[in-house]
Amino acid sequence: MKRLPWLLLPLGVLAADFASKTWILSILRFPGDSKPVIEGFFSLTLGFNKGAIFGTLHTAPEWLRVGLFSLAGIAALVYFGRLFLADATPKLERVALGMILGGACGNGLDRILHGHVVDFLDFVFGTWHYWYFNLADSSIVVGAILFGIALLTAKRAGVAAPAE
């Protein structure tokens, strides 16, 4: 496998995420500031998430959050990075892993630079209001779905999953 072209995927996700967050911070200043894009459905709304997914652990002491998120981030980078770079990893899994790695690095960079993750994509479906999220979150979710599809289709085809 030629690694350099593949490394462009997580780096591209990281760059797009960083650029989008830099842009949103230039137009929205305070948490809760909002600009409607599609009235009643989609807005750009600034939010800062000190916690994990859906804000869990946001009230935990900072030392605990920093320690836990640092350990989890390093473990994820090592685990997913090893699979991403393995010669035997099929293309669909590599794409999925590249998206997950790029998104994880984007949110990790936020925690280093700001002490929280910058979220701004805000959707409302009827009476249901989804949590704010960002491009890194989207990349992680799409990557996880693709990874699951890759594993399920490999299993159906009788192909062994990559060795851990």
Selecting among 17, 110, 122, 137, the annotated active-site residue is 137
Selecting among 17, 110, 119, 122, the annotated active-site residue is 119
Residue 159 Rama label (left phi>0; alpha psi -120 to 50; beta):
beta
In whole angstroms, give the CA distance from residue 164 to residue 154: 16
Please say if 87 is a catalytic residue.
no
> Which parts of 28-125 fold into alpha helices (H)?
62-85, 91-114
In whole angstroms, give the CA distance from residue 65 to residue 60: 6
The answer for residues whose C-beta is within 8 angstroms of residue 84's C-beta and 6 or more apart is 6, 10, 94, 97, 98, 101
Please say if 119 is a catalytic residue.
yes
Nearest to 16 by CA among 76, 94, 102: 102
In whole angstroms, give the CA distance from residue 137 to residue 130: 13
Residues noted as catalytic: 119, 137
